[in-house]
């Protein structure tokens, strides 16, 4: 799907191996990378990612920070806080986290960013609702900011169920 000058797509795969400038980590607001995708990012990219993120926290739930990506394919990791340490999330938080990750990417002149399904792992949020929120927020961001540096947004799903839901949502626009 093309929105203004930005291409939005969905792929099935491993976000840590995606060829983009930045990947988004669905983080807790203290940036402790102990479980879910965060733990995979730390294992593959190196402990320095968590150390750099933790120096910038804690933050309000829904806010994002950026770090180097260590040994990952990407150059940066945008840590979007999708929950506090209670590991609970909701629609409002996922909406804010999606928006803040996009704002962070744009502020850092990122041209290509990859998102997982925010809040759907450790946070146990439903894929259908996450897809609706994230795609709507992404399109809204691009329409509100036509001069954005972001030219490619990829929703990278590692589970077939998530891929099917996000693909259907993006295709329906």
- Quick one: 108 exposed, middle or buried, by C-beta within 10 A (0-12, 13-18, 19+)? middle
Task: Annotate the chain with three-state secondary structure.
Answer: CEECCEEEEEEECCHHHCCCCEEEEEEECCCCCCCHHHHHHHHHHCHHHHHHHHCCCCCCCCCEEEEECCCCCCCEEEEEEEECCCCCCCHHHHHHHHHHHHHHHHHCCCCEEEECCCCCCCCCCCHHHHHHHHHHHHHHHHHHCCCCCCCEEEEEECCHHHHHHHHHHHHCC
Q: Is the domain covering 2-171 a CATH 3.90.1150.10 domain? A: no
The model's pTM: 0.97
Give 48-63 pLDDT, tens digit per residue.
999 999 999 999 999 9
Give 113-146 pLDDT, tens digit per residue.
999 999 998 889 999 999 999 999 999 999 999 8
């Amino acid at each position: 799907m093309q929105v203004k000058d930005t291409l939005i797509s969905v792929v099935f795969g491993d976000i840590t191996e995606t060829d983009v400038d930045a990947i988004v980590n669905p983080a807790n607001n203290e940036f402790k990378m102990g479980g879910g995708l965060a733990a995979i990012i730390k294992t593959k990219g190196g402990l320095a990612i968590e150390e750099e993120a933790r120096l910038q926290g804690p933050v309000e739930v829904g806010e994002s920070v950026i770090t180097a990506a260590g040994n990952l394919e990407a150059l940066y990791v945008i840590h979007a806080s999708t929950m506090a340490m209670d590991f609970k999330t909701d629609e409002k938080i996922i909406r804010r986290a999606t928006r803040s990750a996009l704002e962070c990417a744009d502020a850092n002149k990122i041209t290509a960013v990859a998102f997982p399904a925010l809040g759907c792992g450790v946070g146990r949020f439903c894929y259908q609702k996450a897809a609706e929120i994230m795609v709507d927020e992404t399109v809204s961001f691009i329409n509100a900011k036509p001069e954005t540096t972001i030219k490619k947004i990829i929703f990278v799903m590692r589970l077939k169920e998530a891929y099917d839901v996000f693909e259907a949502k993006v295709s329906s626009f």
